[in-house]
Structures are given as structure tokens and as C-alpha cells.
A = this chain, B = another copy of it.
Amino acid sequence: MLPFSRITIIGLGLIGSSIARAVRVHMPTARLTGYDADPDVRAIADRIDLCDDITDTAGASVIDADLVILCVPVGAMGAAAAEIAADLPADAIVSDVGSCKEAIAAALADALPNATIVPAHPVAGTEQSGPEAGFATLFHGRWCILTPTAQTSAAAVERVAEFWLKLGADVETMAPDHHDRVLAITSHLPHLIAYTIVGTASDLEEVTQSEVIKYSAGGFRDFTRIAASDPTMWRDVFLTNREAVLEMLQRFSEDLTALQRAIRWGKGDELFELFTRTRAIRRGIVEQGQDDAAPDFGRSHQ
């Protein structure tokens, strides 16, 4: 038995199109409907046969759905929910994939006061965007975090959990505000720092952009991957999870200042102590299968 049999995906970018592909693989009998606000994206989705049906309006896409997943940028969630409000079946469950759960839960509850809402966040992605960037195994071995509120029925949470398990993900549940703090440090701050250093490097006068590119294998290139992520998505994340991001950023800046001071005053022991401690975290990530065990992320060294 499938947890859902008529699934609608609104927003057919990297995540939405990966869900579509994974549903096709793991729930081949489910009917799959897609919608995207951008007609060009709808045309591509049609051409690559991403769903059984691509509709021309958001409302039409949900008419007989039992699960609707909103895969639009965080700042567009409320408007997307409002667009489907009139056509949403009473027994449908609405979920999403956004990276800021407290604000999204509030926006969805506002737009769909009578709907059953199970906010979700699959912690997975690549630096690529658009309907053609998705792939069916994106969620394999990754965590999907559900952030139900006191109003969410346990049965609805259970069905959404089952959906993600079928796509190959592991499922965890936590409070929306805790999610937002966890993701501020594990995802939002890393992106912010990566965007910053790539910006800093491209603004130098005495080191040319061509030199930055040429010698990027010394470490810089690791940062450029996530700094190539979708600009709209990330603008929305920072504006929406503002408080948690600013707090993590403040802690990071303090730690960076301490390190700066250690370098200025030649305190090698302090540097060595930190540089030793940080190895353990990497080890944990590899041991728990959250990153490639092969050196250099498994990049091919031909």
C-alpha cells in the first residue's frame, strides 16, 4: 500500500523534479501531477515527461490530490498555498520542502486555515537548479526533517514520514524553531560564508580573477560549489531565518576573531589545538554515511 496515490508537486526545480523522479521509481502506480509558475519550466517538464500531467494553473494541479508538496522558494510558499486554497480537496495533506520551518508553517496555516499541513525539509541538494538537474536518488541516505505542530494529526505525520522513507530518506521529527537553529549552522551559515569568500576573492585588485580560478585547487574551489546555488532560494532563506542566521554568524565572527588574534600573536598551540579537534567531526560525518569516505570528496583524479 502506498501512503499517497495522487501526488501533486508545485515548483519543478531541483528538489521538486527529484521528488517526481523518485516517485516514479519508488511509487510507480501513484498518479503524478506537476505545476510551476514559470511557463518555460512547465514546457521543459512536459518535454522530459517528468509527471503524468503538467497543469497550466496551480489550482488545476491539486483538484484530486491526496498529497500536495510545495517546492518553491521559501519566500513564495505563502503565495503558492494561497493559489491552491480554493481547489484543495478537504482530505489532502499539504507539505513542503523549505529550509525555514517556523515561518513556512505560519504562512501555510494562514493561507490554508482548514488544511492538514505537515511541514518537511529533506536535507539534500546539489549546486544545480531547474527541472533537468533533479535525479531520483537525491534523497537516498539523507535526512528528511518533519516539523509538525501540536495541531498536526499523528496519522498525517505518519503518512508523510512513510512517503519519505519510500524515497530512500531517513526521517526525523523536531520542533520548527529547533529545526531553524540546526539548519542555521549546518546549512545557512555555510552558504553565507561560501558566498562571502567567493565575493571577496573576486573583488581583489592585486590578485586577478583568473589567478583565483587557476589556483582554486588549494581549497577555494570547495567553497565555490555551494556559492553556485540558486540565488532566489538563498536570498529567501537568509531573509526568512534571519534571527537564527545572525546569531550563528555572530558566534562564527567571534571565533574567527579569536583565530585572527592567535595568528597575529603567533600562538601556534591555539591553532594546533583547534585544527586537531576539527578532524573528529569530519570522521563522524564520513562514519555516518553523510559524506564520501574517499579523499577529496571522491573527485576523480584521472
Report whether A246 and B264 are in contact in the complex, using a CB–CB cutoff of 8 Å.
yes
Option from B198, B210, B296 in Cβ contact (under 8 Å) with A278: B198
Q: Which of A127, A212, A301 neighbours the largest number of chain B CB atoms within 10 Å of its CB?
A: A301
The bracket for how many chain A residues form the interface is 35 or more
A246 and B263 contact, CB distance less than 8 A: yes
C-alpha gap A36/B160 in the complex (Å): 57
B residues less than 8 Å from A231 (CB atoms)? 271-272, 275-276, 279
Given contacts A224-B282, A238-B271, A282-B127, contact A197 B186 (CB under 8 A): no
Given contacts A215-B183, A295-B128, contact A193 B256 (CB under 8 A): yes
Q: Does A39 contact B (CB under 8 A)?
A: no
State how many angstroms separate the Cβ of A128 from the closest Cβ of chain B.
5
Q: Would B248 and A200 count as touching, CB distance under 8 A? A: yes
Tell yes or no: A153 within 8 A of B by CB.
no
Cross-chain contact B302 with A235 (CB below 8 angstroms): no
Contact with B along A115-150 (1 / 0, CB 8 A): 000000001111110000101011011110100000
Known: A216-B285, A231-B276, A282-B225. A298 touches B301 (CB 8 A): no
Residues of B within 8 A of A224 (CB): 278, 281-282, 285, 291
Question: Are the C-beta atoms of A281 and B213 separated by less than 8 Å?
Answer: yes
Which residue of B178, B199, B245 is within 8 Å of A277 (Cβ)?
B199
- Establish whether residues A235 and B290, one from each chain, have CB atoms under 8 Å apart when the complex forms: no
CB distance from A79 to the nearest CB of B (A): 15
Which of B99, B199, B278 lies in contact with A202, CB distance below 8 A? B278
Closest to A139 in B: B301
A246 to B224, CA, bound (A): 21
Q: Which residue of B lies closest to A230 (CB)?
A: B275
User: Known pairs A145-B215, A192-B259, A228-B283. 6 more at Cβ < 8 A?
Assistant: A124-B217, A185-B212, A199-B278, A246-B264, A292-B300, A297-B297
A residues adjacent to B (C-beta < 8 A):
99, 123-128, 133, 135, 137-138, 140-143, 145, 172, 178, 181-183, 185-204, 206-207, 209-229, 231-232, 234-236, 238-239, 242, 245-246, 248-249, 251-253, 255-256, 259-260, 263-264, 266, 268, 271-272, 274-285, 288, 290-292, 295-302
5 contacts between A and B (CB under 8 A): A182-B212, A202-B280, A239-B271, A242-B263, A242-B264
